[in-house]
Structure 1
Amino acid sequence: MKIVARCHPALKDLIPAPMPAEKALPDWLRTMPGEVEAESMGGERLRTLKQCPPLLDALGLGVLIPLPCDIRVEGGSFHWDWAFPAITDAPLTRAPLGAHLPEQAIGAPLPLGPGQLAIKFTNYWTLEAPEGWQLLVTHPMNRAELPFLTLSGLVGGDRFGLGYVHFPALWTDPDFEGVLPRGTPVAQVIPVPRDRPGLEIATMTEAEIARSRAIQEELQAEPGVYRKKFRR
């Protein structure tokens, strides 16, 4: 299973490349403590999110698409200045940001105020997946510190591998002023099978109840059981 990311040759040395998400974990994860004292529990030592394998695995899933250039935000407006080349053989815009009108989201439960635009990150990479695979494009997992929220979408990576998929997003921090730096992850791309899984509803057998209880008791007895015995 491999995602192939391609860019126009004129942009090869200009834009940062997509990267495996596991190689670009957020700085806050690196700097946060692994354990803390919980004052509300009399100073008891508790493990933090840093020791939660499911959260870590979600952060490292698939690939991240980076912002192609610095975006300067001043007074609610967006500015950029980069040496985008003249490209005559492909319909590529030099604008790293576009916009969606609020009317396009009428009826959707999105936090768009009157006259507020939804932005759209321009993606300069085509993304191809093997036959039978689609690409789930979503906000970078567990990255609430970003001043935007990328909306989720599913793209047929096995059929649309040479098409450009751009990323609609909501700007969620109206007080943000400064620079959103080049390389900031704007979308996480996760391959999923085209064939949808079925669903079976069942009740536990006595043996399954006993096994489930044993697992829960083992998890409570010592730290790291899930990571050591169940994680791949």
Structure 2
Amino acid sequence: MDITFRCDPALFDVLPRPIPGSAALPEWLRKMAPRMPSDVHQRSIRTVKQCPPFVDAMMHGFLILLPCDVTVGAGQFTWNWELPALGMKHHPRAPISFHVPEQIAGTPFAHENASIIKFNSFWTVELDPNWSLMAVHPINRADLPFRLITGVVDSDRFHDVGINFPAVWSDKNFSGVLPKGTPIAQCYPVPREAPTLVFEAMSDDKMRRYDDLASKIMAAPGVYRQQHRSKRVTP
């Protein structure tokens, strides 16, 4: 699949471009130890750094990046971003805007004095026919001071303007700079056709295969990674 990103010509060499998830693994993952001593197990055990599903999820799809530094403090968001003249009169110029709290009233996101921000988009995204775009909080990134609100957009049809990404500002104690290039949304194409759910009782052969694989997993580490994991091809 080709995923086509477009922006105002005046911004083409200004904006940070969306990047594959594999290109933005956080520093804490790079620095964390692959094994740690466990009081429960009385031995060293593998950390999530050696868990392929954990890491592969973070490498999935592509990331939309914050286009400029945003300073946060005392409940205020400020930025100093000089943009050239743009070719479209309704195009945003601010990196973020805001929603009123009433828009999430009755949801688990709502709490007293919640700040509902909206990351404005400067790229349009076009997908192949019959595919939609799933946008989620950057996967396993609980370190970020906001939580993106998940959404799906039919980007094979809706691609003439950018997608904006709403989020709840979750870290009320955060004070400092959210730097340019911070991942704000992790996105990946999903088929719009609903899957068919099939349910079966295991056959004798499937039960034997279950026990065989389970015994291999219990006997030694790395079975999934070495024998079943598909090699990721990165751009």
TM-score (norm 2): 0.94
- Cα-to-partner distance string for 1:199-219 (whole Å, 9 max, x where unaligned): 122222222122112111111
**In structure 2, how many angstroms separate the alpha carbons of the residues matched to 1:195 and 1:222?**
39
What's 1:220 paired with? 218
2:184 matched to 1:186? yes
Q: Partners in 2 of 1:94 and 1:224 — Cα distance?
A: 49
Structure 2 unaligned residues grouped into runs of 5+ = 231-235
Write the distance in 2 (CA, Å) between the matches of 1:25 and 1:190. Answer: 16
Amino acid at match of 1:71: V
Q: Which residue of 2 aligns with 1:22?
A: 22
Contact 1:112 1:118 in 2 (8 A): no
Tell me what 1:33 maps to.
33
1:1-232 equivalences under 5 Å are 1-42=1-42, 44-113=43-112, 115-232=113-230
| CA positional deviation for 1:88 | 4.2
> How big is the shift at 1:162?
2.3
Alignment gaps of 5+ in structure 1: none
Q: Which moves more between the two structures, 133-142 or 81-90?
A: 81-90
Structure 1, 87-96 or 58-67: larger mean CA deviation: 87-96
Conserved? CA contact 2:92–2:122, under 8 Å = no
CA distance in 2, matches of 1:23, 1:188: 12
Which letter does structure 2 place at the counterpart of 1:230? H
What is the distance in 1 between the residues matched to 2:102 and 2:57? Answer: 33
1:39 is displaced (CA, Å) by: 2.8
Contact 2:64–2:183 (CA under 8 A) maintained in structure 1:
yes
- For 1:91 and 1:10, how far apart are their aligned partners in 2? 15
> Which SS does the other structure have where 1:15 is aligned?
coil
Q: CA deviation at 1:90?
A: 4.2
- Preserved CA contact (<8 Å) 2:104 2:110: no
Distance 1:139 1:14 in 2: 24
- Cα deviation, 1:176-212, whole Å, max 9, x if unaligned, reads 0000000000000111112121112222222212211
**SS of the counterpart of 2:155?**
coil
What secondary structure is seen at the aligned counterpart in 2 of 1:28? helix
Which has the larger displacement, 189-198 or 200-209? 200-209
Q: 1:161 deviation in Å?
A: 2.3
Count of residues in Structure 1 that have an aligned counterpart in Structure 2: 230
CA distance in 1, matches of 2:116, 2:165: 10
Deviates more, 1:139-148 or 1:23-32: 23-32
- The list of structure 1 runs, each at least 4 consecutive aligned residues, that deviate by more than 6 angstroms after superposition, is none
Write the distance in 1 (CA, Å) between the matches of 2:89 and 2:191. Answer: 30
Q: What TM-score, normalized by structure 1, do the two folds share?
A: 0.95
How far does residue 111 in structure 1 lie from its aligned partner after superposition?
A: 3.8
**Paired letter, 1:172:** S
- Supply the distance in 1 between the matched residues of 2:160 and 2:35 (Cα, whole angstroms): 46
1:4 alignment partner AA: T
Report percent identity of matched pairs. 44
Task: Provide the alpha-carbon RMSD of the alignment.
Answer: 1.2
